[in-house]
Amino acid sequence: MILFTVGPVQMYPETLKTEGTQLPYFRTENFGSMMKESEELFLRSVKAPEKAYFIALTSSGTGAMDAAVQNVLNGHDKVLVINGGSFGSRFADITRRYGIDTDTYDIPFLCPFSKEEFEKYSGRGYTALLVNACETSTGQKYDLDYLGDFCRRNDMIFIVDAVSAYLADPVDMEGQKIDVLITASQKALALSPGVSLIALSERAKDRCSGHKASYYFDFLSYIDNQKRGQPPFTSAVGTMIALNQRLKAIMAEGTEKENALHAARAEYFRKALMNLPVSIPDIPLSNCCTPVIFPEKNAGTAYKTLMEEYGLVLTPSGGGWKDIQLRVGHLGNLSEADYDKLLEAMQHVLDKRKDD
Ligand SMILES: *Cc1c(COP(=O)(O)O)cnc(C)c1O
């Protein structure tokens, strides 16, 4: 099986080796200094400002989205959510769950974000903007430079779910004026699911009021414990060790190299795809994945055939887009040879259909 998914993804040999070994006990100085090192590496990887805070949660990415809302926002906020698909709508579900006044800027399927439309939300008294850097359900990438500037102009807290964009696309916490930046272990980091990482700005931290937030996800407690590299509760120890290893390898080369790697994979696949009777939507795309549109509405059967007959696992789409769109991931340990295999198999699957 080769996974062209968006998480979990193909893992690297070093990760497989590390995650397959006996776990150490973690209330030790060794574990603490490793987590301090991961803090430094992660904050550098997102270009965090000098004063920023690192939180490693034992939860999937949604746990971090939920925790960010609970800790940083409150009932006095009036928030705006960019809703261009299932992850945007998840953010709005979370803020509404906590009774926060929420408006959404909705982007229909296959349509690009429009700055002109979005500017209408300027000067309307919003206190925070929540956005997915890449809306993974469609592959659309939003312009974080522009959105950061929008937040600055409107004095809004800027909460960015970069779960799928981290490492695939450039992310610059300081330059893009991001207050809360979220990612998770099973995307480009190519680790087991179960760890989510957060970088908080000073002004986001100042909004955290420990006693009102969730007990388990109390950011102030995480920040306090992280001073000695310890989590408040038992963390996913094995994944934290594999994370440290990945961060060291990535930062030895720099995130620009990672961005370029993902960009090259995406470009290689997208170029070759032009020869097949499918299309790519005309929207700004993340390097995290390529959405592939099947005009014959056979995406669902192609997904099944590719998996069952060729051992190639693509990312299916939910709900009404099941037969229209598949997504091909560019995260994890994938080579050009893997994409050649996929393209050849897609050619067979689509040709067979024509002959039937
Ligand atoms: C994967 C992903 C998440 C997290 O999903 P989990 O299943 O909770 O890990 C959040 N946001 C985006 C944009 C994602 O791609």
d(CA 112, CA 90): 19
Atom of ligand 1 nearest to the CA of 187: 1
d(CA 35, CA 227): 10
pLDDT in the model for residue 119 = 98
pLDDT in the model for residue 209 = 82
Ligand 1, atom 2: nearest CA belongs to which residue? 163
Secondary structure (3-state) at 49: coil
pLDDT confidence bin for 352, thresholds 50/70/90 = confident
pLDDT in the model for residue 353 = 59
Ligand 1, atom 12: nearest CA belongs to which residue? 163
Segment 82-110 mean pLDDT: 97
What's the gap in Å between 60 CA and the centre of ligand 1?
7
Ligand 1, atom 11: nearest CA belongs to which residue? 163
pLDDT in the model for residue 354 = 58
pLDDT in the model for residue 180 = 98
pLDDT in the model for residue 36 = 98
Ligand 1, atom 5: nearest CA belongs to which residue? 61
Q: What percent of the chain clears pLDDT 70, i.e. is strictly above it?
A: 98
pLDDT in the model for residue 356 = 55
Segment 327-342 mean pLDDT: 98
Atom of ligand 1 nearest to the CA of 134: 13
Segment 332-351 mean pLDDT: 97
Q: Do the strands 128-132 and 157-161 form a parallel or antiparallel pair, or are they unpaired?
A: parallel
Segment 143-158 mean pLDDT: 98
Q: Which helix (H) or strand (E) holds 130?
A: strand 128-132
What's the gap in Å between 164 CA and the centre of ligand 1?
7
Q: What percent of the chain clears pLDDT 90, i.e. is strictly above it?
A: 96
Segment 27-38 mean pLDDT: 98
What's the gap in Å between 25 CA and the centre of ligand 1?
29
Mutate to test the pocket of ligand 1, among 161, 166, 183 (most ligand atoms within 8 A of CB): 161
To the nearest 10°, report the CA torsion of 160, 219, 156, 41. Answer: -50
What's the gap in Å between 57 CA and the centre of ligand 1?
14
Ligand 1, atom 4: nearest CA belongs to which residue? 61
Pocket of ligand 1 (CB under 6 A): 6-7, 60-62, 87, 132, 136, 161, 163-164, 184
What type of residue is 308?
A: E
With a CB cutoff of 8 Å and minimum separation 6, the contacts of 178 are 46, 144, 148, 158, 159, 160, 171, 172, 199, 201
Q: Using CB atoms within 10 A of its CB, is residue 296 exposed (0-12), middle (13-18) or buried (19+)?
A: middle
What's the gap in Å between 243 CA and the centre of ligand 1?
17
pLDDT in the model for residue 319 = 82
Q: Do the strands 78-83 and 128-132 form a parallel or antiparallel pair, or are they unpaired?
A: parallel
Segment 62-70 mean pLDDT: 98
d(CA 32, CA 298): 51
Do 327 and 289 touch, CB atoms closer than 8 A? yes
Segment 85-102 mean pLDDT: 98
What's the gap in Å between 30 CA and the centre of ligand 1?
30
